[in-house]
Amino acid sequence: MRIDILTLFPEMFAPLKTSLLGKAQEKNALKINIIDIRDFSLDKHKKCDDYSFGGGPGMLMTPQPIYDAITSIYGYKKALKIYMSPKGETLNQPMVKALAKEKHIIILCGHYEGIDERIIDLVIDKEISIGDFVLTGGEIPAMALVDSVSRYIDGVLGDIASTEDESFSNGTLEYPQYTRPQTFHGLKVPDVLLSGNHQEVARWRSEQSKQITQKRRPDLIKK
Ligand code: 4FV
């Protein structure tokens, strides 16, 4: 998969160069390209924001630098063009799984009060939100989307099976997990997990998932 990210703050994306995502890029399992929108501003001072027509607090990102940046990307017409916004569809695991099937994704990060609406009319296919709260910019939401989607790309996770038996993989929350030592501060690992009886372990885990999901997220069970 190829991912192009448009931002006024390219330095914020260092996290994507570390750990699993960093390694995946080194072995070309994933191509992430960060584009500085300011490079496309035709303003003599490279200005990329201005006041809102009709008044109101804060600044808005101007359309020209964004439009020229997006349309400068090779294949942008065929790519899925996403704007991270609190007004978008809320990201969840089924959506992440669907996005992972895309060949080319372009993500636009807003900042300040947001962007000129005409960019959404002209070049955006989908608005996505990471939750009902407001951030200072779309950069952290974009990283959350890239990280979650990348887990479904071959060559990113050590074992793609990790995506099969985890929270939300089957609409429930994940069961508790333990590793060595068997006793920690007096707390013992449940005996069933030390029994070697895989059937019993699977039954215990499924029962735990049901109970935890019922207690913490009954909405998932209804769904
Ligand atoms: C956001 C969210 C979000 C709104 C104005 C950036 C901010 C500022 N994006 N899910 N929640 N964006 O709060 O995606 O430009």
Give average pLDDT by consecutive 10-residue segment, the chain, 223 residues: 98 96 95 98 97 95 98 98 98 96 98 97 98 98 98 87 78 94 98 96 96 94 79
pTM of the model: 0.94
How much distance in Å is there from the Cα of 79 to the middle of ligand 1? Answer: 22
Query: Does the C-beta of 58 come closer than 6 Å to ligand 1?
Result: no
Helix 19-26 to helix 139-150 angle (10° resolution) is 70
Same domain (yes/no): 54, 82? yes
Omega before 176 cis (within 30°)? no
pLDDT of residue 28: 93
Domain contains 119: yes
Long-range contacts of 99-103 (CB under 8 A, 24+ apart): 99/145, 99/149, 100/1, 100/149, 100/150, 100/151, 100/152, 100/153, 102/1, 103/1, 103/2, 103/78
The domain of 97 spans 2-150
Q: Of all atoms in ligand 1, which is nearest to the CA of residue 112? A: 15
Residue bearing the CA closest to ligand 1, atom 13: 134
Say which CATH number the domain at 189 has: 1.10.1270.20
How much distance in Å is there from the Cα of 130 to the middle of ligand 1? Answer: 8
Query: Does the C-beta of 60 come closer than 6 Å to ligand 1?
Result: no
pLDDT of residue 151: 95
Of the residues 125, 150, 175, the one at which a domain ends: 150
How much distance in Å is there from the Cα of 114 to the middle of ligand 1? Answer: 8
- Token digits of residue 138: 């779309």
